[in-house]
Structure 1
């Protein structure tokens, strides 16, 4: 069973990584997975929350940071060392198929911390703001999903890595939103 899942994962990885290869994606996907590319969005969220919600905005930003830290801790410090899955770009059996679009790094692959962290933040913000702003749902999910997809496209994660990261992040984001709402029931 695990072998067939692994085989499917590799085949899907190659369909995305090589099969969708084009000049536009080669330019765009490395940007989308770069944390500095999203800095203006992160800054906007911080400024918006503080200006709009004053003291509650500081709590909100604090719980967003807690959400991010929790996702990163679980994905990078707990699960990755247990599973020890090699990144596809470092897998010797795939070396002739890899298109080097970004530096591979020496880290492990499963689960994707990018997917975990971004889904955690997105789901947290969706749960907090959905009653006020319904369009946050498709925007937040698309934002986290495109970053996760970019991880596969550039060759640093398998699809199962990002799907698992998305599931873990979704759970973390939901739990952290409940914590925030318990701490700030009037929000």
Structure 2
């Protein structure tokens, strides 16, 4: 376990400090900002309603449920139990952290950003892949860049985002299959 945590710290520093540059310093805080993605969220809502009518409202409801489940598990259940300090609050890293965004006082493991965005991305991939194949690479790239940004700005370790991605993928798969099995054909 110590070797894994050491690797996690080293990888964090390679990303957080080693990849440091002006362009990423500008871009990565945007990538993790929920307001930056508002046009995408609005597009998804409008697309679902326009293309799927009544079903679209159910899809939007399932996206919200997917988000809520992912957030509940990551933020309310796992984080308080594990209680891992964020790298930007870790006294051992005080001289290594570049403060690009406010750190926050919450715990680090797992990343709720990674959990929530992978959950939504996977949900949308499962629902729309048959009709629109580019949703797979675009959805995964979207969730990955948000997760990567969490490391770059210094608020999460790589293992935090990996665990969030795994948890989010699981939640997204479960809610998508629930929708397809129990809701989609009854509307």
Q: TM-score range by the shorter chain?
A: over 0.9
Partner of 1:16: 15
RMSD: 0.9
Partner of 1:140: 139
Quick one: distance in 2 between partners of 1:125 and 1:134? 11
Quick one: distance in 1 between partners of 2:40 and 2:120? 12
Partner of 1:82: 81
Instruction: Write out aligned runs for 1:23-42 (5 A).
Output: 23-42=22-41
Partner of 1:7: 6
1:149 maps onto 2:162 in alignment: no
Partner of 1:52: 51
CA displacement 1:146-176 (0-9 Å, x = unmatched): 0000000000000000000000000000000
For the residue of structure 1 that corresponds to 2:185, the secondary structure is: coil
For the residue of structure 2 that corresponds to 1:185, the secondary structure is: helix
Partner of 1:69: 68
How many Å apart are 1:185 and its aligned residue? 2.8
Partner of 1:100: 99
Structure 2 unaligned runs (5+)?
none
Quick one: distance in 2 between partners of 1:97 and 1:85? 18
1:184 maps onto 2:187 in alignment: no
How many Å apart are 1:84 and its aligned residue? 0.1
Quick one: distance in 2 between partners of 1:62 and 1:35? 19
Quick one: distance in 2 between partners of 1:69 and 1:186? 23
Partner of 1:118: 117
How many Å apart are 1:186 and its aligned residue? 7.3
Q: Which consecutive aligned stretches of 4+ in structure 1 deviate over 3 angstroms post-superposition?
A: none
How many Å apart are 1:77 and its aligned residue? 0.2
Quick one: distance in 2 between partners of 1:185 and 1:151? 38
For the residue of structure 2 that corresponds to 1:184, the secondary structure is: helix
Q: TM-score, normalised by structure 2?
A: 0.98
Quick one: distance in 2 between partners of 1:123 and 1:15? 28
Partner of 2:171: 172
Aligned length: 186
Quick one: distance in 1 between partners of 2:102 and 2:184? 42
Structure 1 unaligned runs (5+)?
none
Q: TM-score, normalised by structure 1?
A: 0.98
